[in-house]
Amino acid sequence: MLGCIADDFTGATDLANNLVRAGMRVMQTIGIPTEPLGADADAVVVALKSRTIEPSLAVEQSLAALQWLRSLGARQIYFKICSTFDSTPRGNIGPVTDALMDALACDFAVATPAFPDNGRTVFRGHLFVGEHLLSDSGMRNHPLTPMTDSNLVRVMQAQSRHQVGLIDYRCVAQGPQAIRARIAQLRVDGVGIAVVDAISNDDLLRLGAALSDAPLMTAGSGLAIALPANVGISPSPAAATLPPARGAAVVMSGSCSLATLAQVAHFRSQGGWVLALDPLELAADGERLIAGAIDAAAARLSSVPLLITSSATAREVRDAQAQLGVEAAGALVEAALSRIAVALVERGVGRLVVAGGETSGACVQALGIHQLRIGSQIDPGVPWCHAAQVMGHRDGLHLCLKSGNFGADDFFTRAFRLLDSGVSP
Ligand code: ADP
């Protein structure tokens, strides 16, 4: 079994989705579960929220996840990081990789965020986002992890105790044997961590084949496409099979990202039933509004999806934030949407789409969900999932947690059509 530790929630789903597409049956857990794994799996992805917390806490949580995964029999460990290598000189990619290496008594690990299919390439150790160097991309202005250096060897060296080296594109192009030989040489030279170039998905496939015996790898979701083949697993629709979907359909949207705004507009234009929640009204009369929303939606529940949304334009969001404060506005909306989601699941919703990373986190927590089986992809990076144990539901809950900027305009209707037809695009 492949054991994976992801440093954030939507990143975990992205990784799980890639593994399923490559043929593995995957369970994703929210944090480290206290109960046993709910179903058989070829890979288990533990979703932490450790990307920007204190390095010592990130290490502690990652080691706890490692211990749990090893108790399940994990043979290899995949530390999933962001494809833009989000980190600071304090961490957390370096300290967590170092700690996992110590715990696994391993003296070498690769580190690569490359995923050429998604426009993340690494060339001579430098990360490109689309056509631009990382340091010229929007990531240079990130509020928490501004990435101003594209040279990943230097970035990793600043945060790791190990000497950091490079496996460059010429070596990778020669195939698994050459990569293994290079790793052997780097180990002799005292290098503990190597950034690896990948400028095409074929590079990742060659790298993955060379890592069949590696105890640990640190990577974005890209490298995952190469690992199932090492254990004789090939792409198969069976890996994505979920139990039959039952119950009413609802979309809860708390994302204000452009993609989600377009999805809300598309849903409206198709004549879908929409209930809009406004944070200022929630602040003034929240209890009545939430109760009214639950009653109005509960009266219309069916297999035709309803949409409950707080999604608003950047200007409307700024107005609400100016009056309520940024965090208070977000917390009000997240609390309202997750309470409504819980009430509607209690009243028979069996298929739920949630739009927004934070909003998804709030809903999953309120629903008491700790484990998800990963199903087929709706749009890149966004699969249907199934939670077996949700508030006493015999059939469990089909759930899609969509990061705000993902998905095509018709996502809120097409997602349910795909689930009902059982067909993956
Ligand atoms: P995304 O994945 O697009 O970033 P998130 O759910 O992670 O979406 O973040 C959106 C945040 O904005 C949440 O905290 C949500 O509660 C908040 N929010 C949603 N609607 C509004 C609104 N109308 N005004 C202010 N904040 C809002």
265 Cα to the center of ligand 1, angstroms: 17
280 Cα to the center of ligand 1, angstroms: 14
Q: Taking CA 56 as the corner, what is the angle to CA 220 and CA 160, rounded to the nearest 5 degrees? A: 55
pLDDT of residue 378: 95
pLDDT of residue 392: 77
Q: Which amino acid is at 329?
A: A
Q: Which amino acid is at 268?
A: R
pTM of the model: 0.91
421 Cα to the center of ligand 1, angstroms: 31
The atom of ligand 1 lying closest to the CA of 405 is 3
Q: Which amino acid is at 47?
A: A
With the most atoms of ligand 1 within 8 angstroms of its CB, the residue from 52, 333, 360 to mutate is 333
Q: Which of 216, 250, 262 has its CA nearest to residue 63?
A: 216
380 Cα to the center of ligand 1, angstroms: 21
Q: Which of 349, 315, 155 has its CA nearest to residue 247?
A: 349
| Block mean pLDDT (10 aa), the chain, length 425 | 94 95 97 90 95 95 97 96 92 97 98 93 97 91 88 98 98 98 98 98 98 98 97 95 94 93 97 97 97 98 97 92 92 96 96 93 94 94 93 89 91 95 59
Residues near ligand 1 with C-beta < 6 Å? 254-257, 260, 279, 310, 312, 316-317, 320-321, 329-330, 333-334, 356-359, 403-404
Q: Where are the domains of the chain?
A: 2-236, 241-421
pLDDT of residue 279: 95
403 Cα to the center of ligand 1, angstroms: 11
pLDDT of residue 422: 67
The atom of ligand 1 lying closest to the CA of 317 is 24
The atom of ligand 1 lying closest to the CA of 402 is 2
How many angstroms separate the Cα of 136 from the Cα of each of 93, 142, 146, 321? Answer: 21, 12, 11, 30
CA-based end-to-end distance of the chain: 27
Architecture category of domain 241-421 in CATH: 3-Layer(aba) Sandwich (3.40)
For residues 298 and 102, give the distance between their C-alpha atoms in angstroms, rounded to a whole number.
53
For residues 399 and 383, give the distance between their C-alpha atoms in angstroms, rounded to a whole number.
9
pLDDT of residue 389: 83
348 Cα to the center of ligand 1, angstroms: 26
Protein residue whose Cα sits closest to atom 17 of ligand 1: 330
357 Cα to the center of ligand 1, angstroms: 9
For residues 186 and 191, give the distance between their C-alpha atoms in angstroms, rounded to a whole number.
5
Protein residue whose Cα sits closest to atom 6 of ligand 1: 356
Q: Which amino acid is at 167?
A: I
- Residues 167-195, buried b or exposed e (16+ Cβ, 10 A)? bbbebbeeebebbeebbeebeeeebbbbb
In 176-257, which residue ranges form alpha helices assigned H by DSSP? Answer: 176-188, 201-210
How many angstroms separate the Cα of 86 from the Cα of each of 7, 9, 197? Answer: 10, 14, 18
The atom of ligand 1 lying closest to the CA of 331 is 16
257 Cα to the center of ligand 1, angstroms: 8
With the most atoms of ligand 1 within 8 angstroms of its CB, the residue from 274, 358, 365 to mutate is 358
Architecture category of domain 2-236 in CATH: 3-Layer(aba) Sandwich (3.40)
pLDDT of residue 188: 98
**Other Cβ atoms closer than 10 A to 417:** 12
Protein residue whose Cα sits closest to atom 14 of ligand 1: 330
Q: Which of 1, 181, 38, 152 has its CA nearest to residue 86?
A: 152
With the most atoms of ligand 1 within 8 angstroms of its CB, the residue from 10, 253, 255, 338 to mutate is 255
The atom of ligand 1 lying closest to the CA of 362 is 6
